[in-house]
Structure 1
């Protein structure tokens, strides 16, 4: 029997939801990456402190997988009333300040960003790739790049798209400064983005690492309309697509001459080009404000674009309150093989 001590959160509201969110996240790990090797996930209080407890026999690989859980603070083996610490080392290649340093209005909670990436990455047709391969991650509405930084921390290749020029410049400036401060070998440049002689926007590319030591890690941010993503990237270029839909603020395509305030309207327009970019067997994870549309409505949009929506119990356990105007949920779907 094992017990997870839940990490504290700087966000009080998120901390209140952390037990149920970690329960759902662990349930997804159990049914995918761990292939049913743990069971009976439940909350228990030990000496007045909440823990997430579960049964199972875990290998070193399993423990390494659980080390990446978004709200795991420490893992213990439970013997009666005694807790034996279990060393758990996750994927993190870089220090956590890559994700935590940027502060700005509207930033998605860092633990939730990690959770969304986790449950999507282990839901592909090859869950073990999460631990063994450099996944190619796309966030087609990346804002100032929290998802990109989390993917980079894991050692994945990360690509983002966003229409906001200020977000693009802020991310490029931050990453350049961070890489220099950490004294990491890298190249970074901003270039114009053109197709058929027409300018689509700008592109920031960073290569991290020494080519002599292997293929450098690739980070890319494209300042362009997400609805034109299929014109920018090759088909089936990514293993995983994750994004947090805007919470009712202005966003979206300017091709129609007006901006939409409905995140589901944008999703309905964007899902077709996005579907071309994820490889067969890959996975898509989307979070949104349920006051702007129900889980069933989002599922219908994804299914109409050919995705297979995952609707098991664990995948339906992520709804939680953010504030009085936002109740957030997430949905995961796969691309048919």
Structure 2
């Protein structure tokens, strides 16, 4: 059987790096079950030349399409075909073709306390997209209803998707607005960007950043543009800012209730479950049929069974995924749950 090896991308976050091999194997299992045409088996960790790899076998050689899909695994630096046996086999590099269409500093340049690890954000987006009817490769519309300073939005833009976000924190809204406008100018990308007030019944309901850009002037002229919109407002009022059935994916990293509280219109709560019980039915209305919702949360703030019940009550079907639980710090053990909306 053909054998392959994934070289793990070094993570700047030491704690996340300790879990990266196991999380890569779990993510690879999702890719194998929901994306690859070749049947995948035998995933395990190997060390070649003192460097960790994740190896796996397939029933048939990987086609070009499968190699392109695997190029988007969140913690993978390179993909090799393994030739020979023993501890020093020949590793033949395969040409990777990730979806990325923008400069990587869109993801890495922002540094601030509480920022979600970029590799994990990509993992969460990947496994949510693979649970949707469209999959990972198509042009998608992504909504993060607790977007903070835009890590998920930036990863969606990197893939060529349209990105929409909402957050109640005015400082985060201002910080992200300033960042994305500066980044677009520095990259000299053809774009328009404006911040406008949002009013409902003559009262100010929030502010909205609207951005349209293309990777080149020629792309803009041809209509090949991406859209970004971010609202500074309460996530429980999401229906007031976005139309039902607007998004292919809802992807969010729920507040952990430790470093920052769970804001949902009624003050702070140490448990994200109360916020999610109120917000998930609203977010589900914004999903298109065949779409998917992916949520990362702190397991100390609620059990998987409780969150699954919230998603099911909102008319979604929880997807049976492998283990993504991992330790972040003494107060946070993070996990992922994904559910799809029936087509």
TM-score range, shorter-chain basis?
over 0.9
Shift of 1:137: 0.2
1:271 to 280, 284, 307: 280
Q: Which structure 2 residue ranges, 5 or more long, are not aligned?
A: none
Give secondary structure in 2 for the equivalent of 1:316: coil
Quick one: distance in 1 between partners of 2:114 and 2:24?
Answer: 23
Give secondary structure in 2 for the equivalent of 1:276: helix
What residue number does 2:341 align with?
335
Quick one: distance in 2 between partners of 1:250 and 1:39?
Answer: 41
Question: Does the Cα contact within 8 Å between 1:37 and 1:58 map onto a contact in 2?
Answer: no
2:192 to 187, 193, 196: 187
Question: Does the Cα contact within 8 Å between 2:38 and 2:66 map onto a contact in 1?
Answer: no
What residue number does 1:42 align with?
44
Q: Which structure 1 residue ranges, 5 or more long, are not aligned?
A: none
What residue number does 1:123 align with?
131
Give every structure 1 segment of 4 or more consecutive aligned residues whose post-TM-superposition deviation is greater than 4 Å: none
CA-based RMSD? 1.1
Shift of 1:212: 1.2
Question: Does the Cα contact within 8 Å between 1:289 and 1:328 map onto a contact in 2?
Answer: yes
Cα 1:94/1:213, change in 2 over 3 Å? same
What residue number does 1:51 align with?
53
Cα 1:294/1:36, change in 2 over 3 Å? farther
Question: Does the Cα contact within 8 Å between 1:116 and 1:330 map onto a contact in 2?
Answer: yes
Shift of 1:268: 0.3
Q: 1:201-230 CA deviation, whole Å, 9 max, x = no partner? A: 000011012531224200111000000101
Give secondary structure in 2 for the equivalent of 1:167: helix
Question: Does the Cα contact within 8 Å between 1:78 and 1:84 map onto a contact in 2?
Answer: yes
Quick one: distance in 1 between partners of 2:38 and 2:130?
Answer: 13
Question: Does the Cα contact within 8 Å between 1:281 and 1:335 map onto a contact in 2?
Answer: yes
The normalised TM-score by structure 1 is: 0.95
Question: Does the Cα contact within 8 Å between 2:37 and 2:66 map onto a contact in 1?
Answer: no
Question: Does the Cα contact within 8 Å between 2:144 and 2:164 map onto a contact in 1?
Answer: yes
Shift of 1:198: 2.6
Matched pairs, number: 329
